[in-house]
Structure 1
Amino acid sequence: MTPRRKKRLWITLALLIGVSTTIGLVLYALNQNMDLFYTPTEIVQGKPDGSKPEVGQRLRIGGMVVEGSVKRDQESLLIQFDVADVGPAVTVTYEGILPDLFREGQGIVAQGVLVDSRTVKASEVLAKHDEEYMPPEIAEAMEKNHQPLEYTEEQKQGSQL
């Protein structure tokens, strides 16, 4: 092998190692910033594939705010409420001002960190737009894993008033 070919080989190897390292670091950074979506039932019981979120993991949770579960701290902006789909409820704590559309019985998506097996400390809470709207992620997850929530005729008439 001539010295010129040897030099080209080393340059090619160095470029391949550099590109591989760069791709590896980018994939690692993207994996660290990924927020997975869970329903309350999936947080408590795990997903169908057996995966369950770990304490300290960043995630997004979506579901309906349970009636009568909203508790506000009189001294601060700390709010605690339960979110459920068709299974067990998960408690969400949030410090800040909630969206104007937030209320009991409405669908929400909260982004935060899993504090323990049934508690999420939210950094952001998003509320749904109107009575008929359900975030696509919640509707898809509920359709895939559970029976969809359906309004009774009384609930439909009550929401139209």
Structure 2
Amino acid sequence: MSIDIANETDYGTEQGVDAEELVGVARYVLGEMGIHPMAELSILLVDTAAMEQLHIQWMDEPGPTDVLSFPMDELRPARAEDDNEPVPGLLGDVVLCPEVAEKQAKDAGHSTADELRLLTTHGILHLLGYDHAEPDEEAEMFGLQKQLLRGWKARSGAR
């Protein structure tokens, strides 16, 4: 699985941005979702100004946001035993804003690293076609997100 990550912010490990860990989270999520091992994903960390610009340009919404997902090829997770074999392709881009994540983490009572792991998982699920516009979609997506993060933590030994 090819996962490229670029950090265009001043946030580093001291501020909760561990690029290697985020790649590990992404690799785990894609594997658990049955995505082909040759699929490609890009993760980009940007500052609030860049995120605000993307948010306005693509969502027509003011202000920065925490995560944006830009799907490329329409890759879907294997959801049943009889699904066709997954195919390789370019999954898309997940754009994260550590500064917004830091603020949300404080409000939620957990670390910036925890928030960035959650947002990485959330962004990937959007790339795979999950959404949370309707209550039933939200329950499915957020439940899966929680399950994936628990699984990753158990496997990695993270707190």
Which TM-score applies when normalising by structure 1? 0.26
User: Which has the higher Rg, Structure 1 or Structure 2?
Assistant: 1
Higher RCO (CA 8 Å, separation ≥ 6 residues): 2
